[in-house]
Structure 1
């Protein structure tokens, strides 16, 4: 097109394309903001979960989520008198204190760990995103430690395992403690890194 008609066509095209660009830009900013906000909520919720007190009583249906052993194992332990339970509003609840005492008894009987180990003081005091016990098969997905490495660390006494029935579990707090000690030892060995200020 030439002349006034051509100029009018270009002006119309320009007028249509600008709102499109603005719309795409607005969506991009909105998506980025939502993603950042979601990540922030995840971090904050995880931090809050780590400092909240461990519940005093937990439904048997949630025993795997909090304790690491199945509902069936929970009922078996209740039946044998190893852990305590109560019934409230038609639901069977496990008392966390009895589970803590049971696990510590098993640690004492099955492990040669120092009974004054630092992690014992904090055991089951606060909640974590990982259950208090972790089956050997799940340790890799939760901590990146292979099954073989888990057994080796347990044999050396650096992490603690107990056996309930035919299943062997790792006491999760002992893994956290081992990792923290490893980080602290490495920091002391390497020392404070020197910052290179040359540009």
Structure 2
């Protein structure tokens, strides 16, 4: 597994060198959201797979796995974001999975996303989760600012467009909502899309 991390870092460095016409030293490129713990990374990947299944039981399993990844590496920002995302989706709203009261889910998610942002302040997915937390608190205008920040940091983040579409629909800005949903689908045609009815 260590070889995989090294190879991933080398590929990333090579891509940056080609795109920026600037050459970085080998080993100088490391994402702050990454982990040096192979065990934490493997548990995190298992959590992402459980999350991808999009069922109540799989979200409960994902929560446990992300918590285990954090226990193995308390500095693993990506695991904090994934845990926050999972907790938010475990709320009891109409488009959530109904395990936790919405205010509890939002509070727990907020605590974890804050931990991620302390470790990596410019993590796009963390801002998307901040927007989702605001949205489940019915703070739709506030959520749009967070989604826009996520999209500014990563214009290819499909989940930010999907959640933004839902917030815009709640604000009855239907044309913008539809455009954001189309963009989310263009970026990730296999993503499960939940429409507000």
Global fold match (TM > 0.5): no
Which has more helix, going by share of residues?
2
Q: TM-score, normalised by structure 2?
A: 0.23
Which of structures 1 and 2 has the larger relative contact order (alpha carbons within 8 angstroms, sep 6+)?
Answer: 1
Task: Point out the structure with max Rg over C-alpha.
Answer: 1
Bigger share in strand: 1
